[in-house]
Amino acid sequence: MQVGLIIVGDEILSGKRRDSHLAKFIELLAERGMQLAWAQYLGDDRELLTEKLREAFASGDLIVSCGGIGATPDDHTRQSAAAALGRPLALHPEARELIWQRVQQTAAEQGLTADADHPDTHRRFEMGVFPEGAGLVPNPYNKIPGFYVGNVHFVPGFPVMAHPMMGWVLDRYPQLHRSPGVIERSLIVQGAMEASLTPLMEAVEADFAGVKVFSLPSVDHPQWGRCIELGVKGDADRLEAAYDALKRGVVQFGATISTEMVR
């Protein structure tokens, strides 16, 4: 099972708001010894969302989708999820109760009495309308939940809500957690072309299952100038041996190792 992230919102794609979900999700994954396999940015387009969510539900991946689950006209994620699943939308009874608790709390703070039949209250209940059969993702910030179906989870776009909810989602999958620690080792190589080092990279990947070799060339690195960051990441049990093999290969090639890094 891979881990994916979907970030929804025209405001992200237009630059009106800066995305903070990707960096935070990577951080939350790293705390649990996990890694992100892929991420997508999508606009508030119901047809496109439906298509991409249909792929997400079919993938078998653990996925978090951020944004678009409100009840305003520019929010389409709940409707698209239902369409992708071929299920009707329905007011989740537990979500309704949580939203009602929030309505009552807000009214009390303002010195008012909450009215369950008020049109504003009914509009707020719409935030608990999810695809039939969905489970709830608890929201510690204001009680208004997200939802999940299978391994695909939906949280709000507000970081103050989304980020703790992401953590809750990841803790649903303890079987995917690994001991946090060294998951990446690399070295800065000078005096070699990437193409010349490719056979070495292929050999290390072939010899150490569960380890990936990566190469990040730079032509104007602020410290090292023209160089290649060459490294390995993945299975902690094989990481050190794979890194040693990679380093030996670079030395045998005759390139210069300027520094070594651990992440």
Q: Is the pLDDT of residue 239 over 80?
A: yes
The pLDDT score that the predictor gives to residue 236 is: 75
139-188, pLDDT tens digit by residue?
999 999 999 999 999 999 999 999 999 999 999 999 999 876 657 899 99
Q: Identify which of 136, 167, 175, 234 has the alpha carbon closest to the alpha carbon of residue 24.
A: 167
**Average pLDDT in the 235-241 region?**
84
User: Which residues are paired to 21 by β-bridges?
Assistant: none
The pLDDT score that the predictor gives to residue 129 is: 98
Cβ neighbours, 10 Å, residue 83: 19
Q: What phi-psi label fits residue 128: left (phi over 0), alpha (psi between -120 and 50 degrees) or beta?
A: alpha
**Average pLDDT in the 201-214 region?**
94
Kindly state the DSSP code that residue 122 receives in the 8-state scheme.
Answer: H
The pLDDT score that the predictor gives to residue 181 is: 62
The pLDDT score that the predictor gives to residue 105 is: 94
Of the chain, the percentage scoring pLDDT greater than 90 comes to 91
The pLDDT score that the predictor gives to residue 180 is: 66
- Helix 46-59 crosses helix 77-85 at what angle (to 10 degrees)? 50
Q: Is the pLDDT of residue 44 over 70?
A: yes
How many angstroms from the chain centroid is the CA of residue 253? 38
User: Which residues are paired to 227 by β-bridges?
Assistant: 218
Cβ neighbours, 10 Å, residue 111: 6
Q: Which residue has the tokens 């070495």?
A: 200
Q: Is the pLDDT of residue 227 over 90?
A: yes
65 vs 49: CA distance, rounded Å: 11
The pLDDT score that the predictor gives to residue 178 is: 83
104 vs 229: CA distance, rounded Å: 56
Q: Which residue has the tokens 């999810």?
A: 130
Residue 93, token pair as written in the block: 């009874």
Q: Which residues of 22-40 are buried (b: 16+ CB within 10 A; e: fewer)?
A: eebbbebbeebebbbeebe
Instruction: Give SS3 for 51.
Output: helix
- State the pTM of this model: 0.85
The pLDDT score that the predictor gives to residue 238 is: 86
Q: Work out whether strand 89-91 and strand 129-131 pair parallel, antiparallel, or are unpaired.
A: antiparallel
In DSSP notation, 156-172 reads -S-HHHHHHHHHHHHTT
50-75, pLDDT tens digit by residue?
999 999 999 999 999 999 999 999 99
Domains of the chain: 3-176 (3.40.980.10), 184-262 (3.30.70.2860)
237 band by pLDDT with thresholds 50, 70 and 90: confident
Average pLDDT, the chain: 94
Q: Is the pLDDT of residue 112 over 90?
A: yes
207 vs 190: CA distance, rounded Å: 24
